[in-house]
Structure 1
C-alpha cells in the first residue's frame, strides 16, 4: 500500500519500531494479566512474590514511558504524512498537462485535499489499532492457557461478531462512497456560487434554484447518508461492547455447568474479558475511520490516474537548457498541426484543421474570428498548454518534443482573457521604487496613482478594476522580459482612450523593442496597427493578411 511506503520513506525505522511496539505490548499485556489474576486468586508470583507491588509499578512506569515515546513519534509521523500527501497533490498538478487539469476540474482538487486530511490520521489510527489487536491476541492466548474449551466458546462469539461487522461494513462503505461523490458535486456548486456571485444576485430564480435544488439538496443527502452511517457504526460499537457482557454471562452461568469450571477459572476469565473490552472497542471504533481512509485512498489513486501524476513528476520540467545557453527567439513554425476536443455545450467534436504557419521575431499579429472558430484552441497550442494531436511545432527550426514543452513555454508570456493576478511575487521581480523600469511602466499604463510602490514591499496591489488588472498583468509580463507576448482579448476591458493608446502606441513600440506580439482581438478599427491579421473560421485560418507599417512610431520607449 502506498501509505506504508510513504511511512517507511518518512521513517526508515517504522517497521522496526512497529515490531518493537508489538513485543512491548505483548510483554506488558501478558505480565499485567498474570499479575492481576495471581493477586486476586491469592496465588504467589514466581520470582516476585514478595515484591509484586514493585513489579506492578515497574510495569506501569515502563508502559507509560513507551506510550509517551510512541505517541510523540506518531504525532510527528502523522503530520509528516499529511504534509507529504498535501504537497504531492500540487507537485503532480504543476507537472501535469493543462488538458488533464481541465478534465479533472477544480472541485476534484479540493476534494482530494479533503481526502488528504482524512488520510493524515492513518499512522495514529493504525498504531492504536495495532496496539489494541496485540492486546486482544494476548488476552485470547491467556484464556486458552487457562481453559481452552471456554476460550473457544468466547472465540466463537467473536467470530460471529466479525462476520456481522463485515456484512454491515459493506453498507457503510457504500454510503461513504456516495457521500464522497456528493462532496465533489458540492464543491462544484460552491465554485459556481462564489465565482458567479454577481450573476446569482441578478436572478432570484437562479438564486433559489442554486440554493434549494443544489446546495441544500446536496447537503441534505449527505446528512442522511452520514447519519445512517454513524448510526450503523454506533450499533457496531454497542454490539461490540455488550458482546463482552454476553461473554461474561457465559463464563458466570454456562461454563460452570457445562465444563465444571471452578471459581478461580471463572474469576480469571471475567478479569481477562473486562480487560479486553477496552482494546476491542478501540479496534471497532477505528474501523469507521479505516473505511473512510480506504475510500480517500481510492479517490486519490483515481486522481493520480486522471492526471497521470507519477509520470508527470518523473518528467518534471523536461529538458531545460543549461543557464546561459538558451537561444534568443527567431522564429516559430506550425507544420500540419491538428487538434480536437469534445464540446459538451454544443454536443459535438471541434477539430482544428491542419495548421501551417510561421511567426518571426518582431512581428505583431492580430488573431480574429467568431466564437468557436478556433482562436482559443490556437492560443492554447501556441502557448504550449495544448499538445498537438498531430503535426509538429518548431522553435528556431528545432522540433519541440514533449520533454521540451516546459522550456518552450518559458519563451512566452501570456495574458489570457480570464487572467489571474497573483497576490504574491512568485516571479521574484524587483517591485520596489528602486526599479526605474517598473516606475516608467506604471506611468505609461496610467497606474501610478492606483498602484503605490515602496522601497521595501515586494508585491503590488491587485484589488483593481478588470481593465487595470490587465494593465498590471502587462507590466508583470514586460518585467519578465520574454521574447514572445500573447495577449488574449487584452483590450476588451479598457476604456476607449486607453484602448486607442494600446493599439496605436504600445503595440508598435513593443514591436520596435524586438518583442513578438500575438493578440486576439475583435477591434477591426485598429487592425492596421498590426503587421499581420489572422482570421480563423471553422477550425482553419481563412485569411492571413499582411498590413502596411504604421507611421508615427520611430523610437523605442525607455520602459521597454
Structure 2
C-alpha cells in the first residue's frame, strides 16, 4: 500500500476515533439545545473533577478576597494592633490569592483546550462523513468560518472563564465582608442597587442580540471574498479592473458593513457600561452621604464600603464586559449546531471491515438504470441517466463527450462519491448500499481533474517507496523525490504535481484506476508516455482503467469508447487493441 490513507486517490474517508469521555468532548447533535448553558452542562458531565476543583478554588478565592479586604480595612482603623502581624497576614493572603487564581487559570485553560480540540475534531469528522454533493452545495468559505471563527469564539469564552470566576469569587467575598461589617440592611440596599443596574444593562444589550447574528453573517461573507482573493490571485493580477472592482464593490463594502455593525454594537455596549459606571458612582454617593445620615453608619463602616466599592469596581466591570462575549459564543454555538444538523442528515457510515465488498477479486461493476439529478431553485435540474453500464478488469475504458455532457458526474457515481437518486450499482453482483459505500470506494485509485495533494500532511504518503520505483524516473520525478523528506508541494509546478498524483495512483494496489482529464498540465512526452505506455501497463496487470479525456489523439488506446451527451450514453464502442 503506497499511502497510509488513500485520501483523494482512493476517495477514502478517514474517520477520527476519540475517547470522548476521557477527553471531555462535546457532541452537538440534532435536536439539542444550542445555548451556552447546554455547553456548560455537557462540560460538567464530562469534566466533573475539573469543575469540582474549580468550584473549590472559587470558594477559597472568595474567602481570601474577603480576608484581604478585611485586613486592609482593619489596618486603616485606629484600633488596629501590630502592623507587623497584619503585614505578615497580608503577605500570606496575597500569596494564597495568587495561587488560587493560578489554579483557576490552569484548570479552565485545560478545559478550553479540550473543548477547542474536540469541537474541531467533531466538525472535521462530520465534514468527512458528509456526502460530497452536500459539501459542494455548502461551499468552503462557510465551513472555514465555522472551523475558525465560531470555534475560536466559543474557546475564547471558555478561556476567559478564569478571570470571570475569580472576579465573581472576589465580589462574593466582598459582599460577605460587607454583611459582616454592617449587617444585612445596608448590604441589602447595596446589592439592590447593583442588581438593578446590571438588569438594566443586560436588557439593553439583549435587545441588540440580532446585531451579533449580523456580525457573524457579514464575517462569513467576508471569508468568501477572501477565498476568492486567494484562489484567484493570478487572474486578479492579470486584470486590474477586475481586481479593483472586487476590492471596491465587494471586499470594501463587506468590511464597511462589518465595521458599521461592530460600531453599533460597541455604542450599545458603551451605553450599558456608562450605566454600570453610574451605578458605582451612585453607590459611593449613597455610602458617603446617605448611609451616615439616614442609617447611622459609622465612619469605619463607610470606609469599609468605599474600599470595597473601589476594589470591586474593576471585577464588576469585567463581568459586565463579558456579557457580549457570552452572546457571541451563543451565536457561534448555534451556527456550529446548525452545521452539524445539516451535514449529519445524510451522514455516511465508516468503513465496514466485514463488508462483503472487501472479499473476493473484482470481477464486474454494473450500473443498472442509474440516474442522478442536480436540482436547481425550481426543484428541477440537469439529470444524468438512466445509465446502464458494465465494467470489467483488464479493460481500458474512455469516457468522452463535450463539456457538460456528464462525464465527471458519471465517474463520481462510478467510484461512489455520488449516490444515485435511482437505480443501483452492483459490485460483483452485490448491491452497493449506503453501509457498503466506503468499502466500495476502497477498490478505486482516483486522480480527478481538480486533484489535491495533502501538502500539509505529506507523511501520509509513502514517498520513500515511490522514490525507489522505476516509474518515478519514467515520470521525470527522480530528482523531485530524491529528497522526499524535504519535499515542498507548493514549490512544484502544476505539471509536476499532476505527474506526482498520477504516479501515486499508478503505484497504488487498487483494482480500479480512474483518471479524470489526466493529460491536463502534462508536456507532450509525458502525456504520450502516460497514454501509450502506462495505461497498457495497468491493463496487463489486470486493472480496470477508466479515463475521462478530450485527447482524441489517444482514443485509439481505449478498448472501449463511451460517448456521453446531455447526461446520456449515446454510443458504446468496443475496440480491439493488439
User: Is 1:151 matched up with 2:184?
Assistant: no
Q: Are the counterparts in 1 of residues 399 and 549 from structure 2 also a CA contact under 8 Å?
A: yes
Root mean square deviation of aligned Cα:
3.1
Partner residue of 1:31 out of 47, 67, 87: 67
1:505 aligned partner: 533
2:391 aligned partner: 359
Please state how far the C-alpha of 1:13 moved relative to its aligned partner.
0.9
Partner residue of 2:141 out of 93, 107, 118: 107
Q: Are the counterparts in 1 of residues 425 and 431 from structure 2 also a CA contact under 8 Å?
A: yes
Kindly report which structure 2 residues correspond to 1:492-531, keeping only aligned pairs within 5 A, or say none.
Answer: 492-531=520-559
Q: For 1:96 and 1:43, how far apart are their aligned partners in 2?
A: 73
Q: For 1:316 and 1:222, how far apart are their aligned partners in 2?
A: 40
For structure 1, which runs of at least 5 residues remain unmatched after alignment? 552-560
Kindly report which structure 2 residues correspond to 1:283-432, keeping only aligned pairs within 5 A, or say none.
Answer: 283-308=319-344, 312=347, 317-321=350-354, 326-343=359-376, 349-423=381-455, 424-431=457-464
Q: For 2:140 and 2:564, how far apart are their aligned partners in 1?
A: 30
Q: Are the counterparts in 2 of residues 30 and 142 from structure 1 also a CA contact under 8 Å?
A: yes
Q: Are the counterparts in 2 of residues 453 and 460 from structure 1 also a CA contact under 8 Å?
A: no
2:473 aligned partner: 443
1:540 aligned partner: 568
Offset from partner CA, 1:374-415 (integer Å, 9 cap, x none): 222211111211112222222222222222222211111111
Q: Are the counterparts in 2 of residues 432 and 453 from structure 1 also a CA contact under 8 Å?
A: no
User: Is 1:174 matched up with 2:210?
Assistant: yes
1:204 aligned partner: 240
- Structure 1 residues 460 and 142 mapped into 2: Cα distance closer, same or farther (>3 Å)? closer
- Structure 1 residues 380 and 222 mapped into 2: Cα distance closer, same or farther (>3 Å)? same
2:119 aligned partner: 85
Q: Are the counterparts in 1 of residues 61 and 100 from structure 2 also a CA contact under 8 Å?
A: no
Q: For 2:300 and 2:491, how far apart are their aligned partners in 1?
A: 79
Q: Are the counterparts in 2 of residues 362 and 512 from structure 1 also a CA contact under 8 Å?
A: yes
User: Is 1:281 matched up with 2:317?
Assistant: yes
Offset from partner CA, 1:254-295 (integer Å, 9 cap, x none): 233333434343333323322321321221122232222222
TM-score (norm 2): 0.84
Partner residue of 1:246 out of 282, 293, 304: 282
Q: Are the counterparts in 1 of residues 386 and 568 from structure 2 also a CA contact under 8 Å?
A: yes
Please state how far the C-alpha of 1:252 moved relative to its aligned partner.
1.4
Q: For 2:485 and 2:355, how far apart are their aligned partners in 1?
A: 32
User: Is 1:490 matched up with 2:523?
Assistant: no
Q: Are the counterparts in 1 of residues 404 and 566 from structure 2 also a CA contact under 8 Å?
A: yes
2:482 aligned partner: 453
1:184 aligned partner: 220
- Structure 1 residues 124 and 506 mapped into 2: Cα distance closer, same or farther (>3 Å)? closer
Q: For 2:356 and 2:566, how far apart are their aligned partners in 1?
A: 42
Structure 1 stretch displaced more, 188-197 or 71-80? 71-80
Q: Are the counterparts in 1 of residues 201 and 275 from structure 2 also a CA contact under 8 Å?
A: no
User: Is 1:125 matched up with 2:154?
Assistant: no
* Matched residues, number: 539
Q: For 2:74 and 2:533, how far apart are their aligned partners in 1?
A: 97
Offset from partner CA, 1:464-500 (integer Å, 9 cap, x none): 4434432221111012221111111112433445444
Please state how far the C-alpha of 1:241 moved relative to its aligned partner.
3.3
Q: Are the counterparts in 2 of residues 104 and 307 from structure 1 also a CA contact under 8 Å?
A: no
Q: For 1:65 and 1:434, how far apart are their aligned partners in 2?
A: 56
TM-score (norm 1): 0.86
Please state how far the C-alpha of 1:234 moved relative to its aligned partner.
3.6
1:554 aligned partner: none
Please state how far the C-alpha of 1:2 moved relative to its aligned partner.
5.7
2:40 aligned partner: 4
Q: Are the counterparts in 1 of residues 371 and 387 from structure 2 also a CA contact under 8 Å?
A: yes
Q: Are the counterparts in 2 of residues 431 and 459 from structure 1 also a CA contact under 8 Å?
A: no
Q: For 2:106 and 2:572, how far apart are their aligned partners in 1?
A: 69
- Structure 1 residues 524 and 53 mapped into 2: Cα distance closer, same or farther (>3 Å)? closer
For structure 2, which runs of at least 5 residues remain unmatched after alignment? 1-36
Q: Are the counterparts in 1 of residues 393 and 542 from structure 2 also a CA contact under 8 Å?
A: yes
Structure 1 stretch displaced more, 190-199 or 494-503? 494-503
Q: Are the counterparts in 2 of residues 363 and 531 from structure 1 also a CA contact under 8 Å?
A: yes
Secondary structure, counterpart of 2:482 in structure 1: coil
Offset from partner CA, 1:523-542 (integer Å, 9 cap, x none): 33433321222222222222
- Structure 1 residues 431 and 347 mapped into 2: Cα distance closer, same or farther (>3 Å)? farther
Q: Are the counterparts in 2 of residues 368 and 533 from structure 1 also a CA contact under 8 Å?
A: yes
- Structure 1 residues 323 and 352 mapped into 2: Cα distance closer, same or farther (>3 Å)? closer
Q: For 2:500 and 2:421, how far apart are their aligned partners in 1?
A: 35
Structure number with the bigger relative contact order (C-alpha 8 A, sep ≥ 6) is 2
